[in-house]
Amino acid sequence: MQQYLPLVASIEEVCAELCELLTDESARQDVRSKVAGVKKDMTSLQRRIEEGKTELEAVLREGEEFREEVTEMASWLADQQEALAVEMVLTAEPDKLEKQFDLHEEHVQDISDAVHHLVESERGMGPVARDVDSIHAQLDELGALVSRVRATERELGSAEAAAARLQQEGYMPNSDTIDKVEQLKRQVCGVKDACEARQQELDSTLDRLDKLYSDLSATNRSLEKAEREHDALKPIAADVTAIRAQQHDLKGFQKCHMEPLAQDIEAVLTAGQALVQSGGHGVNTSTIDSDLERLGDRWTDLKEKASQRERRLDTALMQCGKLQDALTGMLGWLGDMEDMIAIRSLVCAQVVKAQLQEQKFVDQLLSDDNDTWTRGQVDGQE
């Protein structure tokens, strides 16, 4: 019905445009009246559809209520039929009652065998596992046992009612059968309590495993991010300023990544070890052990890489300091040598100059002596 409403609106728009084009007032009124009739029919049809929908919903509700009443009536008829069968047994001939009593004892014996199997099955269940798949299998096994317990409880209830009626009519020689039914009820109750306790233990262990692996997954993601961050650190620099900056970056990495990771990993390892240690004898914990071992190995590798980088930075900084001291000493020695060479150069120049002057003086003396000797020799020959 909803899909025709836009069509009605479109007809109204076309009618308005047509009325603007028409000059005859009677023609306009005729068009408007037809459109109004169509709109009125549409509204009436929509109202009838809504009424029909309401009636159908009411019929459906009544049908559901009738179905529930029929179900209750069928259950009541089944109960009445069972009660009538018991009454018919009690009002039968004594030989038939005696036969029914024998059948009742056989029924109780069958129930006793079933209870024995229930007890054995409950005792034969192994300790709660420490992996999710095995726990789900144990939950399925426990569910099957609980279904058997409930069926046995129903059988015991039927046997107890039959025994009570037979005893009331005086056809039961003693109360041994009733006592046996009571004993079987206590055994079944014990198995039921044990099943409830095991259900709680299985659920609790499953919750602990789910939390452990959820935390483990989150911790592995954080650890992987920390590994990437560490691998992205720059190589060791060669100058003091850059090395100190890299030491500061490493401390920031340790504070932002390593310290929170240490707490998370410690919590995961503690929870995992608690699950392993609380497992019963013979419980397979290899899955948890291997997962925790992988986490521990990765964490150890990351800590070793961070420690190694810290040591390398300290060594590089120390070596840069020693080199700086050596360079400073060398520069000082070179400065001293330059000063010494400069002084020696100056002294040598002055000495050479004096020696030259002295040599000139000696040469002058030798020249004067030579002249005197020549004149003396000439005078001696004369």
Range of the domain at 157: 93-215
**Which two structure tokens, joined as six digits, stand for 273?**
């070890």
Give the Å distances, CA to CA, from 328 to 109, 237, 239, 324. 105, 21, 15, 6
Tell whether 335 is covered by a domain: no
Which CATH number covers residue 186? 1.20.58.60
- Please tell me whether residues 97 and 211 are part of one structural domain: yes
Which of 209 and 360 is assigned the larger pLDDT?
Answer: 209
- Please tell me whether residues 185 and 106 are part of one structural domain: yes
Tell whether 184 is covered by a domain: yes
User: What's the chain's average pLDDT?
Assistant: 76
pLDDT at 343: 60
- Please tell me whether residues 60 and 117 are part of one structural domain: no
Instruction: Classify each residue of 76-92 as buried b or exposed e, where b means 16 or more C-beta atoms within 10 Å of its C-beta.
Output: eeeeeeeeeebeebeee
**Which two structure tokens, joined as six digits, stand for 344?**
């020696």
279 pLDDT tier (thresholds 50, 70, 90): confident
User: Residues 91-109: what's their mean pLDDT?
Assistant: 65
pLDDT tens digits for 138-171? 999 999 999 999 988 888 888 877 777 766 666 6
- Out of 152, 181, 215, pick the residue that ends a domain: 215
- Please tell me whether residues 98 and 71 are part of one structural domain: no
Tell whether 63 is covered by a domain: yes
Tell whether 144 is covered by a domain: yes
User: Residues 255-273: what's their mean pLDDT?
Assistant: 92
The total number of structural domains in the chain stands at 2
Q: Are 9 and 35 in contact (CB under 8 A)?
A: no
Which of 108 and 91 is assigned the larger pLDDT?
Answer: 108
User: Which of 2-11, 100-109, 266-275 is the most confident on average?
Assistant: 266-275
pLDDT tens digits for 6-22? 655 666 666 666 666 66
Tell whether 136 is covered by a domain: yes
pTM for this model (two decimals): 0.56
C-alpha torsion angle, residues 69, 74, 80, 84 (rounded to 10)? 150
pLDDT at 183: 87
Please enumerate in sequence order all residues whose Cβ is within 8 A of that of 198, keeping only pairs 6 or more positions apart, or say none: 125, 128, 142
> How far, in Å, CA of 52 to CA of 43, rounded?
14
- Out of 49, 70, 90, pick the residue that ends a domain: 90
Tell whether 54 is covered by a domain: yes
Q: Which of 63-67, 77-81, 179-183, 315-319 has the lowest mean pLDDT?
A: 77-81
pLDDT at residue 373 is higher than 50: no
- Out of 56, 90, 124, pick the residue that ends a domain: 90
User: Which of 215-224, 318-327, 328-337 is the most confident on average?
Assistant: 215-224
- The pLDDT > 90 percentage for the chain reads 24
Tell whether 254 is covered by a domain: no
Structure-token match 């929170």, residue found:
260
User: Which of 48-52, 59-63, 167-171, 247-251 is the most confident on average?
Assistant: 247-251
pLDDT at 158: 82
Tell whether 104 is covered by a domain: yes
User: Residues 14-36: what's their mean pLDDT?
Assistant: 69
Give the Å distances, CA to CA, from 195 to 142, 151, 165, 350. 7, 14, 32, 117
User: Residues 339-355: what's their mean pLDDT?
Assistant: 57
- Please tell me whether residues 100 and 198 are part of one structural domain: yes
- Please tell me whether residues 128 and 15 are part of one structural domain: no
- Please tell me whether residues 208 and 146 are part of one structural domain: yes
238 pLDDT tier (thresholds 50, 70, 90): confident
Which of 320 and 120 is assigned the larger pLDDT?
Answer: 120
- Please tell me whether residues 100 and 208 are part of one structural domain: yes
101 pLDDT tier (thresholds 50, 70, 90): low
Q: Are 111 and 180 in contact (CB under 8 A)?
A: no
241 pLDDT tier (thresholds 50, 70, 90): confident
